[in-house]
Amino acid sequence: MANWGMVIDLDKCVGCQACSLACKAENNVPHGTPYEHDRHHDMYWHKVIAAHEGEYPAVNTQIIPMPCMHCSSPPCVNVCPSKATFKRGDGIVVQNFRRCLGCRYCIVACPYGARNFNFKDQQDEEYQRPDLPPDLAAEVGGLKYGAEIGPWPYPHRTRGVVEKCTYCFHRIDEALLRIENGADIKIGVDVVPACVEACPTEARFFGDLDDPESTVSRLLASRTYIKLREDMLTNPKTIYLPR
Amino acid sequence: MQLDFAAIKGDSRNYKILVGVLAAVVIAGLAAYGVAYMYGFRLWGVNNYVTWGQLITVDFFFIGLSAGSLVVSSLVYVFGQERYKPIGRIAVLMGLLLMISAMLTVLTDLGRPEKFWRLFMYFYLSNMKSMFGINGIFYAGYILLLGTYLVAALSGSKLTKFIAPVAVLWAMLVHMGTGAIVGFIETRHVMYSPLKPIEFISAAFASGLALVMLLSYLTLKFSKRPLDKDMFVSLGKFLVVLILVLMVLVAVDKLTHFYPPKREAVMFLISGPWAWIFWLQVVLGYFIPLAILCNPWLRKKVNWVIAACAICVVGIFFERAAIIFPGLSQPLEYYPGEIAGIWGARGGFLIMPAETLQTLGIVAVLGLVFVLGLKYMDLLPAPAAAEHAEGEASEQATPAAEGGQA
């Protein structure tokens, strides 16, 4: 089974926020008002932070796009009392909105601020992906669904639950089904998460970390890389190539 | 020592006013919750940074008070200290009521409260690695145990001798589990501490004893029941020990996290924007009560002892707040350096009417059931023999009692 990961080249990132916008559009994350922004009520599945070090004129600004880190040892999965957040077989940490109680313990536990409580409903009610749920019995691309079907149909959710980035797993799953049916596409090349697709400088790469031939594996082998907050030992699968 | 218990008559004007006021606050709280449920928690002060607010603070506070009340009752029913018997039944009732109120706060704090039952699907739908999941066992068992305990204590059954020790040990579990909810979260450096469960239980004992002393004193006084002042004075000495233990624990915890160079969390707590919460905890929770209770003159005066109890209860409330608010609002260090914009900003918290009304409503539920309990259960020691003047004896039952709980 694949082990999906994302590599972000900070040398190429210009901080344009196209990734954040693409994420909002793709996943129908409600937009916020300035008031909600001030009160930290608005939602970002993907954010871009800017970290400064030093004083002008010797200031170093590091622009870091932050989706969910999809940790290999996710603290949020440990603390969730209702198994609403769980790690799929392919390593993606997803949130099942139907199981989520809204206790917000995972927000407390997440070291990356990747999780958001939705204080209001989605606004475009008609925007709901019409995708058919996958066959429960099927084993597609090594990913057995079974009980792990998760929040299908995606991404409709009610207010009062916690949301987060999913690496656009609906795209991946759809592609796996198409590959199963004989389509000649490759995940990580033809099918990528929305933020990767939208990046104008092609700073982001998506692929299978376990596959030595994938772009992400090659990049990680050729350059030094960092993971955020490594002291937490969460072992993120969103990996950065520093400037 | 044979001691009779009797209910108050509860037909005085003040009693009715008290019940009416409490009921009104309960209804206001219910209405506030209904509105918040319809419009979402954006009406509350909680946000994506300080994601737990007043209700969880009150929840931790109440669970602590509940465990503490149980310990007071254990003085009577486990250790056989007969002189504390007059307040034994009140302590058990308080333990149960506080725990139920605490569960009410958790339930209404959930984003989707209709799914609360998932917390109690042990090992099947619940995640038993979560401290919430584990506490689900503790909480449910605790409420069952306390219900049995109260029935046994009210009927004067011999069963209390067996239930009381179990209930007290279970109360420790409950409260250590609650401490672990915040203590095991490494992400939040203000909360993260192996001492948290122990600190919680210690704070629980101190605040619980203080609250039972305060409430039982006020209730006995306003219902004109026999009042043994020496009992409160001797309980005051016990309270000194509990507060001292708590103070040492907190000091050791903070010093441990202050000693290494990575001391931002402690600095944030003691000198950051929320520092006033921490210092209120220290001054109200420890210093002022200790100053009163260690003073050789004041500690013998029951009014001062009760005042110390009231101040201590308020101080321990700030102890809970000093975990939630500074703990959650400290900015997360995603990357070394100063993070610009809202992502590096400290979390804030607004006092919003819907959340505050609801919090008050839950406190009022507690007060209302307690006041009604005084009328319908034999909780208080019977009036001194010879007169059956209960009619006027029960006048003005506890107008201040609910002030003490707030």
Q: What is the CATH number of the domain that holds B142?
A: 1.20.1630.10
Containing structural domain, residue B65 = 5-333+340-405
* Nearest chain A residue to B183, by CA: A109
Question: Using CB atoms, which residue from A64, A101, A117 is nearest to B48?
Answer: A117
Summary mean pLDDT of chain B: 88
Q: Do A229 and B350 touch (CB under 8 A)?
A: no
Q: Residues of B numbered 142-201 whose beta carbons fall under 8 angstroms of chain A's beta carbons: which are they?
A: 181-182, 185-188
Cβ of A159 under 8 Å from any chain B Cβ? yes
pLDDT at B402: 42
Burial of B255 (0-12, 13-18, 19+ CB in 10 A): exposed
Residue A5: helix, strand or coil by DSSP?
A: strand
- CA distances to A70, A90, A217, B41 from A190, in Å: 22, 19, 17, 40
The neighbouring-strand residues paired with A95 are: A85
In chain A, residues with a C-beta closer than 8 Å to the C-beta of B343 are 47, 49, 113
pLDDT at B184: 94
- Radius of gyration of chain A from its Cα atoms, rounded to whole angstroms: 18
Cβ of B42 under 8 Å from any chain A Cβ? yes
CA distance B111 to chain A (A): 4
Q: Do A105 and B130 touch (CB under 8 A)?
A: yes
Q: Do A51 and B344 touch (CB under 8 A)?
A: yes
pLDDT at A59: 92
Question: Using CB atoms, which residue from B52, B133, B334 is nearest to A228?
Answer: B334
Instruction: Tell me which of A2-6, A172-176, B388-392 is least confident.
Output: B388-392
pLDDT single digits (tens) B149-208 = 989 888 877 888 888 889 889 998 999 999 999 999 999 999 999 999 999 999 999 999
pLDDT at A135: 52
Cβ of A104 under 8 Å from any chain B Cβ? yes
Cβ of B336 under 8 Å from any chain A Cβ? yes
CA distance B45 to chain A (A): 9
Give the residue from B115, B138, B324 with the most A CB atoms within 10 Å of its CB, the best one to mutate.
B115
Q: How far is Cα A49 from Cα A31, in angstroms, rounded to an integer?
A: 18
The neighbouring-strand residues paired with A140 are: A143
The neighbouring-strand residues paired with A60 are: A53
Containing structural domain, residue A43 = 4-241
Q: Do A228 and B335 touch (CB under 8 A)?
A: yes
The neighbouring-strand residues paired with A205 are: A7
In contact, B204 and B98? CB cutoff 8 Å:
no
Confidence tier at A146 by pLDDT (50, 70, 90): very low
Across B284-313, average pLDDT:
94
Among candidates B341, B322, B206, B211, which has minimal Cα distance to B272?
Answer: B322
pLDDT at A204: 96
Q: How far is Cα A73 from Cα A78, in angstroms, rounded to an integer?
A: 9
**Amino acid residing at B404:** G
pLDDT at A152: 52
Q: Do A51 and B110 touch (CB under 8 A)?
A: no
In chain B, residues with a C-beta closer than 8 Å to the C-beta of A8 are none
pLDDT at A155: 56
In contact, B193 and B183? CB cutoff 8 Å:
yes
Across the A:B interface, residue pairs with CB atoms under 8 Å apart total 162
pLDDT single digits (tens) A10-68 = 999 999 999 999 998 888 888 888 888 888 898 899 999 999 999 989 999 999 999 99
**Six-digit token pair at B134?**
């584990």
CATH code (residue A40): 3.30.70.20
Q: Do B118 and A81 touch (CB under 8 A)?
A: yes
Q: What percent of chain A has pLDDT over 70?
A: 86
Residue B26: CB partners within 8 Å, gap ≥ 6?
A: B361, B364, B365, B368
In chain A, residues with a C-beta closer than 8 Å to the C-beta of B182 are 108
Question: Using CB atoms, which residue from A75, A77, A117 is nearest to B111?
Answer: A117
Question: Using CB atoms, which residue from A47, A82, A119 is nearest to B42?
Answer: A119
In chain B, residues with a C-beta closer than 8 Å to the C-beta of A158 are 112
In contact, A52 and A59? CB cutoff 8 Å:
yes
* Nearest chain A residue to B137, by CA: A81
Q: What are the start-end ranges of the E strands in A67-194? A: 85-87, 93-95, 116-117, 139-140, 143-144, 162-163
A32-40 long-range contacts, Cβ below 8 Å, gap at least 24? A36/A119, A36/B42, A37/B342, A38/B342, A39/B47, A39/B348, A39/B350, A40/B47, A40/B48, A40/B49, A40/B342, A40/B347, A40/B348
Q: What percent of chain B has pLDDT over 70?
A: 94
pLDDT at B392: 39
pLDDT at B384: 62
Q: Residues of A numbered 52-81 whose beta carbons fall under 8 angstroms of chain B's beta carbons: which are they?
A: 52-53, 60, 62, 64, 66, 75, 77-81
| Distance from chain centroid for Cα A150 | 15
Say if residue A147's pLDDT is above 80. no
Q: What is the ipTM for the molecules in this complex?
A: 0.88
Question: Using CB atoms, which residue from B115, B181, B338 is nearest to A101?
Answer: B115
- Position of tokens 């005042």? B307
Q: Do B187 and A108 touch (CB under 8 A)?
A: yes
Across B80-108, average pLDDT:
89
Instruction: Tell me which of A78-82, A122-126, B336-340 is least confident.
Output: A122-126
Decide which of A137 and A213 is more confident: A213
Q: What percent of chain B has pLDDT over 90?
A: 59
In chain A, residues with a C-beta closer than 8 Å to the C-beta of B350 are 39
* Nearest chain B residue to A35, by CA: B42
In contact, B51 and A117? CB cutoff 8 Å:
yes
pLDDT single digits (tens) B301-360 = 999 999 999 999 999 999 999 999 999 999 999 999 899 988 888 888 999 999 999 999
Q: Per the structure, how many domains does chain A have?
A: 1
Ramachandran sector of residue A54 (left: φ over 0; alpha: ψ -120 to 50; beta: rest): left
pLDDT single digits (tens) B33-76 = 999 998 888 899 999 999 999 999 999 999 999 988 988 888 88
Confidence tier at A124 by pLDDT (50, 70, 90): low
Q: How far is Cα B142 from Cα B105, in angstroms, rounded to an integer?
A: 16
pLDDT single digits (tens) A160-204 = 899 999 898 888 887 888 888 888 999 999 999 999 999 999 999
Q: Do B116 and A101 touch (CB under 8 A)?
A: yes
Confidence tier at A126 by pLDDT (50, 70, 90): very low
- CA distances to B100, B149, B152, B153, B162 from B158, in Å: 25, 11, 8, 8, 8
Q: Per the structure, how many domains does chain B have?
A: 1
CA distance B145 to chain A (A): 23
Say if residue B148's pLDDT is above 50. yes
CA distance A59 to chain B (A): 10
Q: Do B112 and A78 touch (CB under 8 A)?
A: no
* Nearest chain A residue to B346, by CA: A40
Say if residue A71's pLDDT is above 50. yes
Q: How far is Cα B242 from Cα B239, in angstroms, rounded to an integer?
A: 5
With the C-alpha atoms ordered B98, B103, B108, B109, is the resulting torsion angle positive or negative? Answer: positive
Instruction: Tell me which of A48-52, A127-131, B98-102 is least confident.
Output: A127-131
Q: How far is Cα A226 from Cα A9, in angstroms, rounded to an integer?
A: 10
Confidence tier at B391 by pLDDT (50, 70, 90): very low
Say if residue B395's pLDDT is above 70. no
